[in-house]
Amino acid sequence: MTEPYAGSGAPAALPVCPRHPDRVAYVRCQRCGNPTCPECQRPAAVGIQCVSCVAQSAREHPTTRTVLGGRQGGQTPVVTLTLLVSCVLIWLLQRSSMGTEIFQRFALAPGIGWHEPWRFLTSAFLHGPLIHIGFNMLALWMLGPYLEGLLGRARFLLLYLISALGGSVAFVLVNPVNSMGAVVGASGAIFGLFAALIVLNRALGRSTGGIAVTLALNAALPILYPNTIAWQAHIGGFVTGLVLAALFAKVRGNAAAAYAGSAAVTAGLAALGAARYFLG
């Protein structure tokens, strides 16, 4: 590429990156106007900024967080949407010719849980009738964005998955260990979210009265569909959500303490499940 000549007839100096003077850079930072090489370019809302301007902007406008560790500012609830879409896509696959195989490979039955422990979590992504997934996904959409914004993505995902695990462990604890009666559904995780909403809102001095109807409808589903939805998972998920939410409320923005506590709760649930199999 030929560089234009200055008015005096002498060639203009090639633009170089201030951080890497040995590199020619024809792209300029939209903020400071300096040439910026590919290594120093950062996408911005409009155009490209250099790493120096991005760092300065971060210092001038630090990210604000909630007292529980989430980021303020209405970010897209990525985890909520990912969980919701995953459950819906898997449910659609269950309606296809692959449905029987998916159920047999990933649903949880106490008699096979010890040999295939991944079922304690995978069963939470499977569902029965339309009303089953409908109520669960409605509740996830109602609760998820708020809790994800309050806790942050990582802690929200831990809350969801560990509550699902708690629901599965409760199902195994109550049923015979050799039973082949299977359970599916995200109800344990959803009830964990209900519990967390109650605990966290009370810790922040906020009202929780608006969730009573949705909670009651979800609690009634095991009566309407006793062969598909297990009340044990509801209780297990709810209790697990209570414990995790109380932990998150206590440690507030201390991420290390939140993750360590989550690991301890997970280990406790695994120990309960293992004890059930060992003790029969």
Spell out the domain ranges in the chain.
1-62, 78-279
- Would you state the pLDDT for residue 210? 65
Dump pLDDT digits (tens) for 115-125. 999 999 999 99
Does 208 score more than 60 pLDDT? Answer: yes
Going by pLDDT thresholds of 50, 70 and 90, the confidence category of residue 108 is very high
Q: What is the CATH number of domain 78-279?
A: 1.20.1540.10
- Would you state the pLDDT for residue 65? 64
126 backbone φψ class: left, alpha, beta (φ>0; ψ -120 to 50): beta
**Lowest mean pLDDT segment, chosen from 62-76, 99-113, 149-163, 249-263:** 62-76
Q: Classify burial at 39, counting beta carbons within 10 Å of its beta carbon; exposed 0-12, middle 13-18, buried 19 or more.
A: exposed
Q: How far apart are CA 202 and CA 249, in angstroms?
A: 10
Q: Half-sphere exposure of residue 38, counting CA atoms within 13 Å on the CB side?
A: 0
DSSP 23: S
Share of the chain above pLDDT 70, in %: 82
Highest mean pLDDT among 15-19, 68-72, 102-106, 128-132: 102-106
- Would you state the pLDDT for residue 5? 43
Residue listed under structure tokens 């697990």: 240
- Would you state the pLDDT for residue 140? 95
Is residue 158 helix, strand or coil? helix
Does 10 score more than 70 pLDDT? Answer: no
Residues 6+ apart with CB under 8 A from 93: 99, 102
Does 49 score more than 70 pLDDT? Answer: yes
Is residue 26 helix, strand or coil? coil
- Would you state the pLDDT for residue 3? 46
- Would you state the pLDDT for residue 39? 86
- State the chain's mean pLDDT as an integer: 86
Q: What are phi and psi of 70, to 5 degrees?
A: -80, 160
DSSP 96: S
**Lowest mean pLDDT segment, chosen from 8-12, 60-64, 135-139, 208-212:** 8-12
* pTM confidence score: 0.75
10 backbone φψ class: left, alpha, beta (φ>0; ψ -120 to 50): beta
Residues annotated as catalytic (active site), given as ranges = 187, 234
Dump pLDDT digits (tens) for 138-172. 999 999 999 999 999 999 999 999 999 999 999 99
Q: How far apart are CA 68 and CA 61, in angstroms?
A: 20
Give me the mean pLDDT over the 212-228 stretch: 66
Rounded to whole angstroms, what are the CA distances from 38 to 2, 89, 156? 20, 38, 35
Cβ-defined contacts of 118-122 (< 8 Å, 24+) = 119/168, 120/164, 120/165, 120/168, 120/169, 120/172, 120/273, 121/161, 121/164, 121/165, 121/168
Q: Which residue has the higher pLDDT, 230 or 260?
A: 260
- Would you state the pLDDT for residue 2? 44
Q: Which residue has the higher pLDDT, 219 or 247?
A: 247
Give me the mean pLDDT over the 42-58 stretch: 78
